[in-house]
Amino acid sequence: GQNIDQPTEMTATEGAIVQINCTYQTSGFNGLFWYQQHAGEAPTFLSYNVLDGLEEKGRFSSFLSRSKGYSYLLLKELQMKDSASYLCAVVIYNQGGKLIFGQGTELSVKP
């Protein structure tokens, strides 16, 4: 079966750095997405990793290790508006590019 694990909740302080981990056990891996979802809003695309390593995009970075089945999303200089749910999703290429989601990590940023 396909399994994706993320912590359910995290809390961090404004201005700090937080790392949200995602581990996966899937067949036919073909990349990993991170999405951000504010309460009552649509999930929005943050990053896509298919090769090992770190992808940096402003305050957000995403890392992938295919051999370890592991990814993390790193958020720097946290702002109150970063309070949201962060969804990890894996692309399964041998199922027509199907996207399997983790349950999401609810991040609360405190002043």
Binding site for other proteins (CB under 8 A): 4, 8, 30-31, 33, 35, 40-45, 48, 50, 87, 89, 91, 93, 96-104
- Dig out the tokens for 35 from the structure: 């999405």
Q: Which is nearer to other proteins, 65 or 94 (CB)?
A: 94
Please report how close the Cβ of residue 53 comes to other proteins at its closest, in angstroms.
14
Q: Which is nearer to other proteins, 30 or 83 (CB)?
A: 30
Q: Which is nearer to other proteins, 91 or 107 (CB)?
A: 91
3-state secondary structure of 23: strand
Q: What is the largest CA-CA distance in the chain?
A: 45
84-92 and 44-49 as β-strands: parallel, antiparallel, unpaired? unpaired
Please report how close the Cβ of residue 45 comes to other proteins at its closest, in angstroms.
5
Q: Which is nearer to other proteins, 42 or 81 (CB)?
A: 42
Q: CB burial class (10 A; 0-12, 13-18, 19+) of residue 75?
A: buried
Backbone angles phi, psi at 93, to 5 degrees: -70, -30
Please report how close the Cβ of residue 87 comes to other proteins at its closest, in angstroms.
7
